[in-house]
Amino acid sequence: MASATFPRRSSYLGGSWLPESGPTDTRVNPADSRDVLGPVFCAEPAHAGQAVAAAATAAATWGGRSTVLRPQVLMRAAGLIRERAGEIAAELTREVGKTAAEAQAEVLGGATVLETIGSAAPWCGGGRITDRYREGTMGFTRRQPLGVVGLITPWNFPFSNPCVKIAAALTAGNAVVWKPSPVAPMTAIALTACLVDAGLPPGVLNTLIGGDAGVGQALVRDRQVAAVSFTGSTEVGQRLAAVLAGRGARAQVELGGKNAIVVLDDADVEAAARAAASGAFAFAGQKCTSVSRVVVLPGVRDSFRDALVEETARLRVGVPTDPGSDIGPVISQVALGRHLSAVDAARSRGARSLTGGVRLTEGLPEGAYLSPAVLDRASATDPIAQDELFGPVLVLLDAADHDEAVRIANGTKYGLAASVYTADLGSAFAFVERLEAGIVKVNEPTPGLEPHMPAGGWKASGYGPPELGPSALDFFTREKSVYLNPSGAPA
């Protein structure tokens, strides 16, 4: 039933919700397949062109609006998100299986992101004054919006990740065409409704609901789209970046990871084990920054392994709406099957299962529940230690010394997040210097990002400038050098 939070089950284009007609998509709640989600009415590739045209019309007015007035819409939207957080989080949990507490935190985090990035608006057009390039002259730079930008987002943070991109793109003065993940369409509708109800002018945000890869491809290929910010898998993101480069458009792609924690001999073993378990298994290991490898030094190998198995055993897998559940289901039966096969295959190559890695059914509804898995004795080059699984599977890897620990931690194609546990400042700094990742932490689990800190992957984990942080708006603006000779006196 329509409500202020979920006004329609269709796309929002040119200032109107599209009629609820045409092709539909229906899914099931990953926690309980009896709970059917949808139908939603799906955007098709032709809608991408219409949305870009609407955005192009709106871009000039929005981009010309004062940088004091522009962020006021984001601030009002943040207020509406807080008012509606309970309803939005409940739907987010149904769509992706995130526990109620995590869903609530994600939605409220999205409101904070709108406020944090929006508050940078007054400075977004400012550049550097380079003083007189000749007597009586002045040189300076201006940053201006790009016009129409495309945003493509994943299912695992279906509310907060789009908030990051939408806030930066709109604050910088662009009009947006957003293709959210078809896995979480109602969450995307709720965010769109908050922005619309906050007073966003027609055409400034266009949301293409339920669209598949074809809609994303149409957006990426459209010559009026000056830049695309994408978050998702490495495979898709790298392909899209190549298409964008081919037509000279900007690409910001934030991709997968195979994130490692290194536990040194002098680490607080209990703290490291707690961080590894929570970092690996919260949201069933489906965060881009989830821990999927732990590299352990010989002095703490046994004590850390025992503590980790104990911490993992403490975590309760259950229905995500139950406040007693620490971990919900994985996203789908297909993903569940993939994780089970990966664990079996690793075992057949010599890995040992220390705990978990089995499908759970007892006392649970028909859903995609998997017990968190810890494996050891796998080679660091084994697929289980190399490929992003995006599930609750953690591999323990042994390193003889610091150099080998660095080699193993850096020894995948990814470079998103890494962490080192140590009591020694010198070791901490040495690892900060040597770990090849866009986000490096000391004595902290790899997941968890602050909006004022840049977030961008290295190597196959990202391409283009990072999101968030003090330069979050740079990707969405272009710099112009201005030569000013007020008197017109010749050189």
Among 89, 416, 428, 472, binds ligand NAD (CB under 6 A): 416
Distance between CA atoms of 368 and 34, rounded to whole angstroms? 12
Smaller CB distance to ligand NAD: residue 60 or 213? 213
Smaller CB distance to ligand NAD: residue 216 or 411? 216
Q: Is 458 in the site for ligand NAD (CB under 6 A)?
A: no
Name the one range near ligand NAD by CB under 6 A: 192-200, 254-262, 337-345, 370-378: 254-262
- Integer CA distances (angstroms), 359 to 96, 317, 330, 421, 426, in order: 18, 11, 11, 31, 43
Among 50, 93, 156, 171, binds ligand NAD (CB under 6 A): 156
Name the one range near ligand NAD by CB under 6 A: 37-45, 76-84, 255-263, 374-382: 255-263
Name the one range near ligand NAD by CB under 6 A: 55-63, 146-154, 275-283, 356-364: 146-154
Q: For this structure, is 124 an active site residue?
A: no
Name the one range near ligand NAD by CB under 6 A: 10-18, 192-200, 210-218, 362-370: 210-218
- Of 42, 124, 163, 288, catalytic: 288
Enumerate residues 187-206 that contact ligand NAD by CB under 6 A. Answer: none
Smaller CB distance to ligand NAD: residue 62 or 155? 155
Cβ atoms of 166 and 176 closer than 8 Å: yes
Smaller CB distance to ligand NAD: residue 152 or 396? 152
Among 255, 294, 297, 472, binds ligand NAD (CB under 6 A): 255
Question: Residue 157: which of 188, 112, 117 has the closest Cα?
Answer: 188
Smaller CB distance to ligand NAD: residue 10 or 161? 161
- Integer CA distances (angstroms), 331 to 63, 95, 352, 361, 371, in order: 38, 9, 25, 16, 14
Question: Residue 177: which of 58, 4, 21 has the closest Cα?
Answer: 58
Among 118, 150, 162, 182, binds ligand NAD (CB under 6 A): 182
Enumerate residues 380-399 that contact ligand NAD by CB under 6 A. Answer: 388, 390
Smaller CB distance to ligand NAD: residue 252 or 325? 252
Q: Least distance in Å: CB of 278 to ligand NAD?
A: 18
Q: Least distance in Å: CB of 51 to ligand NAD?
A: 14
Q: Is 412 in the site for ligand NAD (CB under 6 A)?
A: no
Contact string (CB under 6 A) for ligand NAD, positions 43-82, x = contact? ----------------------------------------
Q: Is 489 in the site for ligand NAD (CB under 6 A)?
A: no
Q: Is 210 in the site for ligand NAD (CB under 6 A)?
A: no
- What is the 3-state secondary structure of the chain? CCCCCCCCCCCEECCEECCCCCCEEEEEECCEEEEEEEEEECCCHHHHHHHHHHHHHHHHHHHHCCCCCHHHHHHHHHHHHHHHHHHHHHHHHHHHCCCHHHHHHHHHHHHHHHHHHHCCHHHCCCCCEEECCCCCCEEEEEEEECCEEEEECCCCCCCHHHHHHHHHHHHCCCEEEEECCCCCHHHHHHHHHHHHHCCCCCCCEEECCCCCHHHHHHHHHCCCEEEEEEECCHHHHHHHHHHHHHCCCEEEEECCCCEEEEECCCCCHHHHHHHHHHHHHHHHHCCCCCEEEEEECHHHHHHHHHHHHHHHHHCCECCCCCCCCCECCCCCHHHHHHHHHHHHHHHHCCCEEEECCCECCCCCCCCCCECCEEEECCCCCCHHHHCCCCCCEEEEEECCCHHHHHHHHCCCCEECEEEEECCCHHHHHHHHHHCCCCEEEECCCCCCCCCCCCECCEECCEECCCECCCCCCHHHEEEEEEEECCCCCCC
Q: Is 254 in the site for ligand NAD (CB under 6 A)?
A: yes
Smaller CB distance to ligand NAD: residue 294 or 330? 330
Identity of the residue numbered 170: L
Smaller CB distance to ligand NAD: residue 256 or 356? 256
Enumerate residues 224-253 that contact ligand NAD by CB under 6 A. Answer: 231-233, 236, 240
Q: Which residue has the closest beta carbon to ligand NAD?
A: 216
Q: Is 153 in the site for ligand NAD (CB under 6 A)?
A: yes
Smaller CB distance to ligand NAD: residue 118 or 216? 216
Q: Is 102 in the site for ligand NAD (CB under 6 A)?
A: no
Q: For this structure, is 288 an active site residue?
A: yes
Among 216, 320, 411, 447, binds ligand NAD (CB under 6 A): 216
- Of 91, 95, 106, 254, catalytic: 254
Catalytic residues: 254, 288
Residues that bind ligand NAD (CB under 6 A): 152-157, 161, 179, 181-182, 213, 216-217, 220, 231-233, 236, 240, 254-257, 288, 388, 390, 416, 457, 461
